[in-house]
Chains A and B, each alone.
Chain A
Amino acid sequence: MFWRRKRSVNDFQEEIRAHLELEAEALKQEGLSESEARLAAKKAFGNVLGAEERFYEKNRLRWLDEFSQDLRHGLRMMRKAPGFTAAVVVTLALGMGANTAIFSLIDAVLLRSLPVQAPEQLVFLAAAGPKGRGPAPPYPCFERFRTQTNSFSGMAAFTNTDVGIRFDGPIEEVDAARVSGDYFRVLGIKPAAGRLLTPEDGKMDPPVAVISYDFWQRRFGGSPSAIGHTFKWDGVMGGRLFTIVGVTAPEFHGLLPGRTDDLTIPMDVTDEMLKDTGSWWFSAVARLKAGANPEVARQETDRIFQAFMDEFPVPAEVRRNNFHHLELAPASQGLDELRRRFSKPLWALMTVVGLVLLIACANITNLLLARSAQRAREFALRVAIGAGRGRLFRQLLTETGLLFAAGAASGLLVALWAVRGLTSFFAGGARPIQLEVHWDWRVLGFTVGASLLASLLFGAAPMLRGLRSDPNNAMKDGGRSTMSRGGGRLGQLLVAFQVALSLILLVGATLFLRTLQNLHQQDMGFNVSRVALVGVHLPHDSYPEAENRTALWDRLLPEVRSLPGVEAAALSSMTPLDGNGRGVAFDAPGFQSESREAHSIGLITASEGYFRTLGISLLRGRDFTDRDRAGTPYVGVINESARKHFFGSKDPIGTDVVMNKRTLRIIGVVADVMQEDLRRAPRRFLYISIRQPMDMGARQTLSVKTAGDPELVLPTILARLRSLGPDVHLLRSGTLARQMDEWLIQERLISTLATAFGLLALLLSAVGLYGVLSYSVARKTPEIGVRMALGAMPGQVAWSILRKTLAVIALGLAVGIPVSVLVSHAAESMLFGVTPADGLSQLIAAALLGLVAMAAGYLPARRAGRVDPLTALRHE
């Protein structure tokens, strides 16, 4: 019962003193003199100090004493062998650092809950079907959920949009959430300042807004005067003046991981939208009552949903595919778009860094083995003078644990630095992904757990070897040959293990690099180089009508085209891989299909010169011109896929088609473009003229083909656009190449990191091989000396070492190649244009590995060949 408060040593001494006095007193009464009595009492007691010591030992936490002893000893040992310590700590720091960094990303993206009250009670209400999960049902259905269910304590609707708001100066683009009034109450968010939105605010009378803590700091420097500030926003209901009433708690960023809702405003929706039974325009989050059964809640809502869908039917195909039933998706981590995108790459990377750690640990085992062989004499001496094996084991455990702890601690520093790089990788570009990487108990627990496991797993063999040292042998021959042959073999097996793991990593890295290369090099149908992009928005206030906007476009295009360094310029509603999409229904004469899907086509509004600017080939007919205007016949251009699908062998040029009840004439056919996805075949697309728009078209993207680096021309373009008028709202700008890079963020992330970790693994394995061979050469120097003295040639000696290297590499490759095929299969969906069993990738990896390993093995071999027999033998 070591936890009980122990009696102090002083108290015990006090008791002994009392005893001696009592005893002396008694003896005195029996007739002894004062001094005799004292002496006799002491004599009868025996060894006072001994008793005290025994009491002390019994009462102390002896293991704690010994532990602190071991700790001091361990630290001393670390200081005494700085080279060894540094090698272990640096190796571990790299391995643990990589693991902690990737795990903290996993924690941030995949594991962490939203900083809301009782996140496990939150669910998203969404219609779902075999084709995936969609938004919440139309508002009237949502109203029924709200009023006719019992399982929920609250429900809120929200949508995320980018909005352009204006305080005093120019329009600013901010990420916003438009929410129903009880949004914050349902989530249980507290304000950092002011107040949050209430159901009352939903009436927008007067319009109020809440800002995020980050925005408050960034835009207002955290000043209290931010509250009461007003801004203007052109919403659905036209320009309104909003007043900021509060700031959300610092940790809350919204329901979309990776994005921060800088502004939260009440949904300003028209009555028509609220009554519309066919519009699916928002997401819904609900809180289950404490103890409510989610399945019961789902059935409850699904019943209402099915009744609603029967009442307001949609085409059977759509109902079956997309609106089949209502789902309660756990919302504790927010909408899972980010998780869906990154869970696979992140787990793949976690595997990669796990393997790197194994390789690093194998090196450490080898180092520890070598060291325990060196220290065999020390251990033998300890055993000889009476140290118990158990005690020795604990000491070794402490020493090993200390090394791993130092490695893990340095690993945290490495991770700190790596995480900074990784988050900036995500936060780069026009659509930053803001990751909230902070180290919570899970990350630290992971690091501690991993280092403990590693130290036990990889420190065990060297510790056991240390314990096994036989005092007799060790002392007899000066501790030189205490490392048994088995020890050398274990070292070589570990190196083979490293070679196998490195091969897996290198094959993986090669596969990912080739995937990225294949994605880049395929025919995308457009030319990504030298194109600058600028988002342009014409606010409703200044450009209320289509004519106003067309007039500006007419002014804008010649201005940009006249700039130096500009080869072509065009406007379009979308650009390739910008993440936008718009689908419409399309009817061509002679084309018949019952399926809605078969009639769908993607729609892009574009100006003349768009195809030329992006390098899209015009296969037939003509491009738009600036004369294709509101007053002239409506025209359209289709892509090759659409032509094949709707027209087959017929020539579409000049044919009148119907798109969303509008008739237009096909004037051209262009090549297919990888508009939305680089991994899938292009969809059907229809282009219409920007001067004959379908809808408002207030937001367009300006594409500019430049003669040189588009980044250099971009400032000139922006300056010219600003000079067009105060009300031209410029959105994000960048280049098409960067836009593509952003689309490829997962692929770039994984190929960059897999390559970096693959090379790290290669380096670690080479170091491991070099270490094992050097050590074995050093230990065999006398033997080699004898052999040389007996007439062995240097080449023979060197070859005997090299042969060992070859055997190790061969073993590693033999195991590594089949395993790498298995491992790559798990990552198959992330590959493109290569198969998991790709022979070329294996060849590249094996060749690289073999080359580096041979180089690492060559140095010790050469040293062995150069052993001078005389010097070697003199050592004996």
Chain B
Amino acid sequence: MPTQKPEDDRIALLQGTLDLLILRMLVFGPRHGQGIARHIQQTSEDTFLVDHGSLYLALQRLEDKGWISAEWGVSDNNRKARFYSLTDEGRTQLAVKASQWRRLARAIGLILGPEEQEA
């Protein structure tokens, strides 16, 4: 598995962050589930391990909430796949969640302090 980091180095996703990441991934247009998973992994430089089973349940949850919509379509390599796209509601939610997350990350960063001091 050349492109993937050893399992130990990966961080299991924090509760609630998967939804945010999914919404973010869909900003650039419709994607299918497998594409979303790959993209999260690649963008996070393989830091995140996306449990595919959880991903699909999260997708379903977001769809039920009306933040994303889904449609069956055909992938680049001509395979049938279910494509998800952001709804207006989803876009608003993304903005809200992203700002929440940034504040949280900053706050945690402040508390933890610069990286060198830890060692």
Chain A residues at the B interface, C-beta cutoff of 8 Å: 1, 4, 7, 12, 14-16, 18-19, 21-23, 25-26, 30-31, 40, 44-48, 50-51, 54-55, 58-59
CA distance A54 to B33 in the complex (A): 17
- With A45-B53, A51-B56, A55-B57 as known contacts, state yes or no: A40 contacts B79, CB within 8 Å: no
Q: Does B2 contact A (CB under 8 A)?
A: yes
Q: From residue A471, how far is it (CB to closest CB) to chain B in Å?
A: 32
Q: Does B91 contact A (CB under 8 A)?
A: no
B79 close to A51 (CB less than 8 A): no
CA distance A40 to B37 in the complex (A): 14
Contact partners of B54 in chain A: CB under 8 A: 46, 51
B57 close to A31 (CB less than 8 A): no
A40 close to B1 (CB less than 8 A): yes
A30 close to B56 (CB less than 8 A): no
The residue of chain B having its C-beta at the shortest distance from the C-beta of A21 within the complex is B79
Q: From residue B83, how far is it (CB to closest CB) to chain A in Å?
A: 10
Contact partners of A25 in chain B: CB under 8 A: 77, 79
Contact partners of A14 in chain B: CB under 8 A: 82
Partner of A16, one of B3, B38, B56, B64: B56
Contact partners of B60 in chain A: CB under 8 A: 7, 12, 55, 58-59
B79 close to A58 (CB less than 8 A): no
Main secondary structure of the interface of B (DSSP, over half): helix
Q: From residue A12, how far is it (CB to closest CB) to chain B in Å?
A: 7
The residue of chain B having its C-beta at the shortest distance from the C-beta of A25 within the complex is B77
CA distance A22 to B32 in the complex (A): 10
Q: Does B45 contact A (CB under 8 A)?
A: no
A31 close to B81 (CB less than 8 A): no
- With A22-B75, A40-B1 as known contacts, state yes or no: A48 contacts B64, CB within 8 Å: no
In order of increasing CB-CB distance, the 3 nearest A-B pairs are A51-B53, A45-B52, A22-B34
Per-position binary interface string of chain B over residues 48-62, scored 1 when its CB falls under 8 Å from any chain A CB and 0 otherwise: 000111101100110
* 17 A–B pairs (Cβ distance < 8 Å), ordered by A: A1-B64, A15-B56, A15-B82, A19-B33, A19-B52, A19-B56, A22-B35, A22-B75, A22-B79, A23-B52, A26-B34, A30-B2, A46-B51, A46-B54, A51-B57, A55-B56, A55-B57
CA distance A44 to B53 in the complex (A): 9
The residue of chain A having its C-beta at the shortest distance from the C-beta of B49 within the complex is A44
Q: From residue B64, how far is it (CB to closest CB) to chain A in Å?
A: 7
The residue of chain B having its C-beta at the shortest distance from the C-beta of A11 within the complex is B82
The residue of chain B having its C-beta at the shortest distance from the C-beta of A7 within the complex is B60
CA distance A18 to B79 in the complex (A): 8
Contact partners of B57 in chain A: CB under 8 A: 51, 54-55, 58
- With A25-B77, A55-B60 as known contacts, state yes or no: A18 contacts B53, CB within 8 Å: no
Q: How many A-B residue pairs have CB under 8 A?
A: 70
B34 close to A48 (CB less than 8 A): no
CA distance A15 to B57 in the complex (A): 11
A46 close to B32 (CB less than 8 A): no
Partner of B53, one of A4, A7, A31, A48: A48
Number of contacting residues on B, CB 8 A?
A: 25
CA distance A766 to B57 in the complex (A): 60
Chain B residues at the A interface, C-beta cutoff of 8 Å: 1-3, 32-35, 37-38, 51-54, 56-57, 60-61, 63-64, 75, 77, 79-82
A15 close to B33 (CB less than 8 A): yes
Contact partners of A47 in chain B: CB under 8 A: 53
Identify the interface centre among B35, B53, B79: most chain A CB within 10 Å of its CB: B53
CA distance A59 to B61 in the complex (A): 10
Q: From residue A47, how far is it (CB to closest CB) to chain B in Å?
A: 6
A18 close to B38 (CB less than 8 A): no
CA distance A54 to B61 in the complex (A): 12
A31 close to B56 (CB less than 8 A): no
Contact partners of A51 in chain B: CB under 8 A: 52-54, 56-57
CA distance A31 to B2 in the complex (A): 9
Q: From residue A61, how far is it (CB to closest CB) to chain B in Å?
A: 14
Contact partners of A50 in chain B: CB under 8 A: 53
The residue of chain A having its C-beta at the shortest distance from the C-beta of B38 within the complex is A26
Contact partners of B33 in chain A: CB under 8 A: 15, 19
A46 close to B53 (CB less than 8 A): yes
CA distance A30 to B56 in the complex (A): 24
CA distance A1 to B1 in the complex (A): 42
B80 close to A18 (CB less than 8 A): yes
Identify the interface centre among A19, A23, A40, A48: most chain B CB within 10 Å of its CB: A19
Contact partners of B52 in chain A: CB under 8 A: 19, 23, 44-46, 51
CA distance A18 to B35 in the complex (A): 11
A30 close to B3 (CB less than 8 A): yes
Contact partners of A59 in chain B: CB under 8 A: 60
Contact partners of A4 in chain B: CB under 8 A: 64
The residue of chain A having its C-beta at the shortest distance from the C-beta of B51 within the complex is A46
The residue of chain B having its C-beta at the shortest distance from the C-beta of A46 within the complex is B53
Identify the interface centre among B1, B52, B54, B82: most chain A CB within 10 Å of its CB: B52
CA distance A45 to B35 in the complex (A): 13
Contact partners of B34 in chain A: CB under 8 A: 18-19, 22-23, 26
Q: From residue B9, how far is it (CB to closest CB) to chain A in Å?
A: 16
Q: From residue A42, how far is it (CB to closest CB) to chain B in Å?
A: 9
Contact partners of A23 in chain B: CB under 8 A: 34, 37-38, 52
Identify the interface centre among A7, A15, A26: most chain B CB within 10 Å of its CB: A15
The residue of chain A having its C-beta at the shortest distance from the C-beta of B53 within the complex is A51
The residue of chain B having its C-beta at the shortest distance from the C-beta of A53 within the complex is B53
Partner of A22, one of B3, B53, B64, B81: B81
Contact partners of B64 in chain A: CB under 8 A: 1, 4
CA distance A698 to B115 in the complex (A): 122
Q: From residue B6, how far is it (CB to closest CB) to chain A in Å?
A: 14
CA distance A19 to B77 in the complex (A): 13
Partner of B32, one of A18, A31, A45: A18
CA distance A1 to B53 in the complex (A): 23
Contact partners of B79 in chain A: CB under 8 A: 18, 21-22, 25
**Contacts A7-B63, A30-B1 supplied; 13 other A-B pairs, CB < 8 Å:** A12-B60, A14-B82, A15-B81, A22-B34, A22-B35, A22-B81, A23-B34, A23-B38, A25-B77, A45-B53, A46-B51, A54-B57, A58-B57
CA distance A44 to B3 in the complex (A): 14
B82 close to A18 (CB less than 8 A): yes
The residue of chain A having its C-beta at the shortest distance from the C-beta of B64 within the complex is A1
Identify the interface centre among A18, A21, A59: most chain B CB within 10 Å of its CB: A18
The residue of chain A having its C-beta at the shortest distance from the C-beta of B36 within the complex is A19
Q: From residue B56, how far is it (CB to closest CB) to chain A in Å?
A: 6
Q: From residue A344, how far is it (CB to closest CB) to chain B in Å?
A: 58
CA distance A50 to B52 in the complex (A): 11
